[in-house]
């Protein structure tokens, strides 16, 4: 009997330890891998569309299995239907109404600010970027490129720097079939600060980036098993040129098969042999397909092999359960081939699925990208979400998984509640801006202006669940849609800031206030107080305040400590007259100031306490605001002033600050 009791206690003790260990494991920061393809269409994957169509289908069995074992984000959007602005928003967490890279600004340096690499770096991650970049700025070397990856939060970079380099997939070889010199010439590959293309004979980039990814994952797991890593793996395929691999994919996959990094000049990877631009996947040969069709389909199936190889590597290393992997594409399918005298059409394999449009178009075919997340212990398997989301949401999502609050400046929301079924999913912003095209989601409907030559141009309005081809424009079909039309026109002005390098016809419009009854508001500002240590001004709206109070003016009196403390002021500013209103701010500490969802002032990343000012064209009325503040090492200080029509620069008076109801002091 005594022995039985002891055995029971022992078993209970073991179960308790296992339970605690399980909880700790759940709290461990997961490795994060984001795989971005170039110009892969929603319809190019079997699980999303290819299996539904007749005729020869593009084969993607590994990606299909990955999607089915994870969560498909069925309405996930790039921010612009072309690569540079799309990638910029992905990295920075800023939509195209705030990003410093817009329209066709290829190779422009992304701003030096918080992004998904340096925030994860601060959270303890080893950060890696492999493949295509294209956001480096002007110059010819890492020393000159202002936005080089290692200057934007990546510990390690291996890949193509210039966007045009990604148009040739054999960096060390001349390709005589190219339709111009750029598409024929050799390209540079950078290994941090060293240019290494001379050693990459016969290296097809899809294989090269994958082999490098496997090598780094294996070495990180063995040498730094307790350090999480973030890998941004950016393929330059299936974007043209429509080049073929050298040889068939190596047998097997994972640590003992598939692609292997050999590290020898002229034989860097195990597929660097044979003839460049030669191998055609046998599934597509002798089926009556054109040369271009065989090339295109082979390149996609090659990516499929690579992703399957990577996932098996994670399983072989027994880190699959502490890793999440995201797969996506930078925009819709392309029309170019870069072969002399030949042009590709995405209609051949119906690469846009049931959607209208392709790369360059803000219809669904150009914007809705194939996206899913996989992670055996982190991501819910077998689910498909139709909730609209966008590239700028990934930064907040990764911060959430890393256990840190996202910077307040970001436009995105964490998708973790959807991916992991944990908590309530916040509504995010889905906003598109590209040349004269503009779009957004509001109340579940897509608004789209293909030629927004002035703000009077109406949005086409679509229900993209019931009407995937966008064949029925709902604008003006009822009083409800007439009201929605006006709300869409108002909302796009409330969430973006003009950019002098990407001017729009609606830049000069007055930002409308909210339709609120001023009688239901009272004078003052809502003040939420926080304690904590943060590397940036965090999004306090996602944190529990230590106290909530009502202040008469914006003042640091409610600050709970001189160090490691923060405040969030919120409410409404009453603008007495339409015009250009300039806001001035100066602080010892960090600050973010937003009106509606417009990022008006950013005094966070490397902010030195100097005076900031921004002018916003506001209509007369009531406008919501949020002012975030966090302390630093100096004595806390904060000043917010305004000036506008008939008002000289001065502190915002108490009677211009409004809140809903009475805010009673609470301590939590």
Q: pLDDT by residue (tens digit) across 442-452? A: 999 999 999 99
Both 356 and 476 in a single domain? no
Residue 501 inside a domain? The answer is no
**For the stretch 73-94, what's the b/e string if a residue is b when 16 or more beta carbons lie within 10 angstroms of its beta carbon?**
bbbbbbbbbbbbbbbbbbbbbb
Pick from 521, 541, 336: nearest CA to 427 = 541
C-beta of residue 638 within 8 angstroms of C-beta of residue 571:
no
Cα dihedral value 657, 663, 664, 665, nearest 10:
-60
Angle at 106 between CA 100 and CA 109, to 5 degrees: 45
Q: Per residue in 69-124, pLDDT tens?
A: 999 999 999 999 999 999 999 999 999 999 999 999 999 999 999 999 999 999 99
- What pLDDT sits at residue 2? 42
Both 450 and 565 in a single domain? no
Is residue 663 over pLDDT 80?
no
Residue 2 inside a domain? The answer is no
Number of domains the chain contains: 3
Which of 400, 425, 450 is the endpoint of a domain? 425
CB atoms within 10 A of CB 272: 24
Under 8 Å CB-to-CB from 152, ≥6 apart: which residues? 91, 110, 112, 115, 117, 118
What does the alpha-carbon distance between residue 647 and residue 405 come to, in Å, rounded to a whole number?
38
DSSP state of 123: T
- What pLDDT sits at residue 1? 40
Both 489 and 541 in a single domain? no
Q: Per residue in 602-629, pLDDT tens?
A: 999 999 999 999 999 999 999 999 999 9
Which of 397, 425, 453 is the endpoint of a domain? 425
For residue 527, the domain's CATH number is 2.60.120.1560
Residue 11 inside a domain? The answer is no
Both 263 and 304 in a single domain? yes
Residue 16 inside a domain? The answer is no
Is residue 552 over pLDDT 50?
yes
Secondary structure of 454-490 as H, E, C letters: CCCCCCEEECCCCCCCCCCCCCCCCHHHHHHHHHHHH
Q: Which residues pair with 392 in a beta bridge?
A: none
Summary mean pLDDT of the chain: 94
Mean pLDDT along residues 46-67: 97
Is residue 391 over pLDDT 50?
yes
Both 303 and 387 in a single domain? yes
Mean pLDDT along residues 411-421: 97
Q: Per residue in 240-263, pLDDT tens?
A: 999 999 999 999 999 999 999 999
Secondary structure of 619-651 as H, E, C letters: CCEEEEEEEEEECCCCCCEEEEEEEECCEEEEE
- What pLDDT sits at residue 661? 75
Is residue 341 over pLDDT 70?
yes
C-beta of residue 634 within 8 angstroms of C-beta of residue 606:
no
Is residue 22 over pLDDT 90?
no
Q: Domain range for residue 624?
A: 518-667
Is residue 538 over pLDDT 70?
yes
For residue 111, the domain's CATH number is 3.40.720.10
Both 455 and 421 in a single domain? no
Is residue 667 over pLDDT 60?
no
Both 527 and 591 in a single domain? yes
DSSP state of 538: B
Under 8 Å CB-to-CB from 225, ≥6 apart: which residues? none
Residue 12 inside a domain? The answer is no
Both 376 and 490 in a single domain? no
- What pLDDT sits at residue 25? 37
Q: Is 280 exposed, middle or buried (0-12, 13-18, 19+ CB in 10 A)?
A: middle
CB atoms within 10 A of CB 175: 18
Mean pLDDT along residues 291-315: 98
Is residue 462 over pLDDT 50?
yes
* pLDDT bracket for residue 647 (50, 70, 90): very high
Q: pTM score, two decimals?
A: 0.94
Mean pLDDT along residues 587-602: 98
The dihedral built from the CA positions of residue 540, 546, 549 and 555, taken in this order, carries a sign that is negative
- What pLDDT sits at residue 665? 43
Residue 503's SS3 state is coil
Cα dihedral value 20, 26, 29, 35, nearest 10:
160
Mean pLDDT along residues 439-444: 97
The percent of residues above 70 in pLDDT, for the chain, comes to: 95
Residue 502 inside a domain? The answer is no
The percent of residues above 90 in pLDDT, for the chain, comes to: 94
Is residue 12 over pLDDT 60?
no
What does the alpha-carbon distance between residue 349 and residue 292 come to, in Å, rounded to a whole number?
11
C-beta of residue 118 within 8 angstroms of C-beta of residue 232:
no
Bridge-based pairing of strands 126-132 and 156-160 is: parallel
- What pLDDT sits at residue 21? 34
Under 8 Å CB-to-CB from 309, ≥6 apart: which residues? 210, 214, 253, 254, 257, 258, 259
Is residue 14 over pLDDT 80?
no
- What pLDDT sits at residue 20? 35
Mean pLDDT along residues 200-218: 98
Both 262 and 406 in a single domain? yes
Both 468 and 531 in a single domain? no
Residue 634 inside a domain? The answer is yes
Q: Which residues pair with 588 in a beta bridge?
A: 637
Under 8 Å CB-to-CB from 139, ≥6 apart: which residues? 145, 146
Both 73 and 196 in a single domain? yes
- What pLDDT sits at residue 6? 44
Mean pLDDT along residues 498-523: 96
In Å, how far are 69, 103, 170, 365 from 433, measured between CA atoms? 33, 8, 33, 15
Both 470 and 334 in a single domain? no
- What pLDDT sits at residue 662? 59
Residue 301 inside a domain? The answer is yes
Which of 479, 494, 509 is the endpoint of a domain? 494
């Amino acid at each position: 009997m005594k022995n039985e009791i002891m055995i029971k206690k022992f078993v209970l003790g073991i179960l308790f330890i296992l339970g605690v260990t399980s909880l700790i494991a759940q709290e461990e920061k997961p490795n994060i891998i984001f795989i971005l393809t170039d110009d892969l269409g929603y319809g190019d994957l079997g699980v999303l569309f290819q299996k539904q169509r007749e005729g020869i289908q593009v084969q993607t069995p590994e990606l299909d299995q990955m999607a089915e074992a994870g969560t498909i984000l069925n309405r996930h959007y790039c921010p612009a239907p072309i690569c540079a602005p799309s990638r910029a928003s992905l990295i920075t967490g800023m939509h195209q109404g705030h990003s410093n890279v817009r329209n066709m600004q290829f190779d422009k340096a992304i701003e030096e600010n918080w992004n998904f690499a340096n925030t994860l770096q601060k959270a303890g991650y080893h950060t890696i970027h492999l493949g295509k970049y294209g956001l480096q700025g002007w110059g010819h070397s890492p020393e000159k490129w202002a936005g080089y990856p290692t200057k934007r939060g990546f510990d390690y970079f291996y890949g193509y720097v210039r966007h045009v380099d990604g148009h040739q997939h054999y960096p060390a070889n001349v390709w005589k079939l190219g339709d111009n010199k750029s598409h024929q010439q050799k390209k540079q590959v950078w290994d941090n600060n060293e240019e290494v293309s001379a050693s990459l004979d016969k290296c097809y980039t899809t294989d090269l980036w994958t082999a490098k990814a496997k090598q780094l994952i294996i070495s990180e797991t063995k040498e730094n098993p307790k350090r999480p890593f973030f890998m941004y793996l950016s393929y330059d395929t299936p974007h043209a040129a429509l080049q073929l691999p050298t040889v068939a994919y190596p047998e097997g996959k994972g640590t003992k098969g598939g692609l292997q990094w050999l590290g020898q000049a002229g034989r860097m990877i195990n597929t660097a042999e044979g003839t460049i631009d030669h191998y055609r996947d046998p599934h597509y040969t002798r089926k009556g397909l054109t040369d271009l069709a065989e090339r295109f389909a082979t390149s996609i199936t090659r990516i499929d092999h690579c992703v399957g190889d990577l996932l098996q590597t994670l399983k072989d290393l027994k880190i699959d359960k502490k890793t999440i992997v995201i797969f996506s594409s930078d925009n819709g399918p392309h029309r170019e081939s870069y072969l002399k005298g030949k042009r590709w059409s995405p209609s051949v394999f119906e690469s846009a699925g049931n959607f209208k449009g392709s790369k360059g178009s803000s219809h669904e075919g150009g914007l809705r990208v194939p996206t899913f997340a996989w992670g055996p212990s982190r991501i819910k398997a077998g689910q498909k979400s139709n909730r609209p989301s966008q590239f700028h949401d990934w930064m907040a999502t990764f911060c959430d998984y890393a256990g840190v609050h996202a910077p307040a400046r970001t436009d995105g929301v964490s998708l973790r509640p959807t991916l992991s079924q944990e908590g309530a999913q916040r509504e995010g912003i889905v906003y598109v801006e590209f040349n004269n095209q503009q779009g957004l989601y509001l109340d579940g409907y897509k608004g789209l202006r293909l030629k927004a030559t002035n703000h009077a141009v109406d949005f086409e309005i679509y229900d993209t669940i019931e009407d995937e081809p966008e064949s029925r424009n709902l604008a003006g079909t009822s009083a409800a849609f007439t009201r929605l039309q006006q709300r869409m026109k108002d909302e796009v002005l409330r969430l973006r800031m003009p950019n002098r390098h990407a001017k729009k016809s609606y830049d000069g419009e007055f930002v409308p206030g909210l339709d609120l009854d001023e009688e239901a508001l009272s004078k003052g500002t809502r003040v939420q107080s926080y304690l904590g240590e943060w590397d940036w001004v965090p999004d306090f709206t996602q944190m529990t305040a230590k106290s909530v109070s009502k202040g008469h003016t914006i003042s640091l009196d409610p600050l709970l400590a001189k160090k490691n403390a923060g405040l969030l002021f919120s409410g409404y500013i009453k603008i007495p007259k339409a015009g250009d209103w300039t806001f001035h701010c100066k602080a010892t500490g960090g600050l973010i100031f937003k009106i509606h969802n417009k990022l008006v002032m950013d005094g966070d990343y490397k902010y030195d306490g100097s005076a900031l000012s921004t002018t916003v064209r506001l209509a007369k009325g009531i406008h919501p605001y949020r002012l975030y503040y966090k302390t630093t090492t100096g004595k806390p200080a904060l000043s917010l002033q305004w000036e506008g029509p008939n008002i000289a620069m001065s502190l915002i008076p108490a009677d211009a600050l409004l809140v809903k109801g009475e805010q009673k002091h609470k301590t939590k």
